[in-house]
Amino acid sequence: MGVPDQVAEAIVAAGRRMDALGLVPATAGNFSIRLDATRLAVTVSGRHKGFLTADDVMVVDLDGTPMEPGKRGSAETLLHCGIYRRFPEAGAVLHGHSIANTVLSRAAGNRLVLAGYELLKAFPGLPTHDAEVALPVVPNDQDIARMQRGLDALWDGLGAIPPGYLIAGHGSYVWAPDMPGALARMEALEFMLRCELEHRQAKWQPLRPAGA
């Protein structure tokens, strides 16, 4: 069974939106939608996400095994599978690479705290800006299965788990019950990361007095 038309269309549209926002340069990023309890649709490897077609979406099982001959998924498909296995409410996953998330995640240590932003309300259970979210930051690793094992151990040790995390020097992952929700969450996160980066840069380089 291939990818349902409406699922492929949603992933293609997500690629155009993420590209317009500058979150998926070159062939970076990958997106997926849960199909059922055992399968997901995910972008194939090596495609520019702003120019996806329905043929650039494939079906894999929850272990990342391709279910369509001739198509190859990104190694990071395993991170999508890890999210779907862990969080039954997850219906769509987005992975992007922005300047803000790449720079901040390199300097953040093991978590990045976002506090006081209006768009924190894009995260569940936060009806007001007067809150904070501590996003986990995990080390980058070319061994994706090992990275996922580290994430599983991290999630086991956390109480409340925010629906997103950063990979140091690499990019961001978010998930939501559906693709519109995941897109809204990614846009909100990236806006806050951009604000955080510009705020820190302003502190590093104080504004010169008028007339200086």
CATH of domain 5-203: 3.40.225.10
pLDDT in tens, 165-185: 999 999 999 999 999 999 999
Q: Tell me, what DSSP letter sits at residue 73?
A: B
pLDDT < 70 positions in the chain: 1, 204-212
- The alpha-carbon radius of gyration of the chain (Å, integer) is 17
Which pLDDT score is estimated for 46?
Answer: 92
Which pLDDT score is estimated for 204?
Answer: 62
Place of tokens 């001959």: 69
